[in-house]
Amino acid sequence: MRLDVRDYASLLHLSDEYSVTELEVQSGDWLADKCLRELNLKQEGITVLGIHRDRNHYVGAPKGDTQIRPGDTLLLYGRLSLLDELDRRSADWGGEQAHHQAVADRQHILSQQDREEAYSDR
């Protein structure tokens, strides 16, 4: 097997808008003690690339039933502004509201992209 060395920043379109970042999960965070399926970060436009857990353990491309624990460090890809907001999101009603707003914002962005694609295909 041959690995290609690539410019991953270019490949992932990393710029001021999109980023790959690490986020350490604290007790009391919105992410803590939930499985990825329950968090439904994909609906927000966030992809969990991996989880650093217990010094020597890494979960690459975690599945939906993977539990997020306090002390985990998540490797995330998404819009930088959303990743920053996620880092501040608490495990309370406000955190749930922030999630629902992020999902609605993502739907708006996708709708806008669909309209732009339809217009450019004319």
The per-residue pLDDT for range 53-109, each reduced to its tens digit, is 987 899 999 999 999 999 999 999 998 899 999 999 999 999 999 999 999 999 998
For 8-120, which CATH class? alpha beta
For 58, phi then psi, to 5°, come to: -130, 130
Q: Which residues touch 106 (CB under 8 Å, ≥6 apart)?
A: 43, 44, 45
* Amino acid of residue 111: S
* Amino acid of residue 106: R
Rounded CA-CA distance 13/38 in Å is: 28
Q: For the whole model, what pTM was predicted? A: 0.81
Answer whether 108's CB lies under 8 Å from 53's CB: no
**Domain residue limits, the chain:** 8-120
